[in-house]
Every structure is written in structure tokens, then in C-alpha cells.
Amino acid sequence: MAESRNVLVESARIARGDIKNLREYRAADHDGLIMPGGLGVAKNLSTFAFDGTDCIVNEDVARAVKETAALHKPIGALCIAPAVIARILGNVTVTVGQDPGTIGALTRMGATHEKTGHGEIVVDREHKIVSTPCYMLDARVDQIGAGAEKLVMALLELI
């Protein structure tokens, strides 16, 4: 697009609230971290959409994930976000559903993948990672909602 866009302004509009730059995130101030998915994660928060297993993760995202994991606080990852978590942390167990190409990329980055269906989650209790496939499957909104709700409930149990 020819127009200039500001992700913080757009995020504030969507969230209808006071948002903060990720640079201000301190894991010690929070109970956990949830990374929603979507193409923005694969194109803007990382280069996974372009570079696959050789992707580069935004430094603020990588720091937030590493800091949260180091404090043994839970991390939730939806849709394609488990690929970013795998790139950052390596040896974790996650899900992106059933896509063979993405599953292969996850395993090459050191992660273990568990196949899931609509509304299902995978909980890596050792690393406190919870993931769900969302639109990595051909899903309806209610199926995504079910997976997201289960993810949040499991994350709360890990706190």
C-alpha cells in the first residue's frame, strides 16, 4: 500500500485501549505472555513467511519471549505464532495443526510438533508453552474461539 501505517495507532484502535510499545514489556510485571497469530506474525514480527527456518525474529519479540520463559511464566501462541516461539526457544512442544510444510519447519528449528484439530490445544508443561492452530486449519470463527478459550484457561492454570 502506498499509505503510511502505524502499528501502534492501529493496535490502539482495535484494542480500544491504552497500548504500549513492546519495548516497554517486562516479564516480571506480568503473569504470562500471549502471542496472537496471523500473517502479521509471519511477516512483521518475524520473517518466517519469507525465510522459513532461517527467519529473523523482531528483537523486541525475541526478548519478550526469552524473558518470559526465563522467569518460568507461561506463554500462549496461536495460529502461526508457535513457529516464532520455536525459532526463539527451539526445544519446545507446540502445534500448528496439520500442515506438513509448517510442521517440517518447526521440527527443523528444534521443536516437537503434535498434530491437532479444530479447537484443540497442546500444553508443553515443562516449558509452560500453550498453543492452538486457529487459522492454520480451515477453521470457522467458533472453532478458533474454542481453541483460544482453551489456550487461555490452560495458560491460567500454569500461572
Q: Which one of 69, 79, 89, 109 is the catalytic residue?
A: 79
- Cα separations in angstroms, 102 against 6, 121, 136: 29, 17, 9
Find the helix packing angle between 100-108 and 81-89, rounded to 10°.
20
Report how far residue 77's alpha carbon sits from residue 151's, in angstroms, rounded to the nearest whole number.
Answer: 8
Q: Do you know the residue count of the chain?
A: 159
Where b means 16+ CB within 10 Å and e means fewer, 136-146 reads: bbebeeebbeb
Report how far residue 46's alpha carbon sits from residue 48's, in angstroms, rounded to the nearest whole number.
Answer: 6
Sequence-distant (6+) residues with CB within 8 A of 34 are 75, 76, 77, 78, 151, 152, 155
Is 79 tagged catalytic?
A: yes
Catalogue the active-site residues. 79
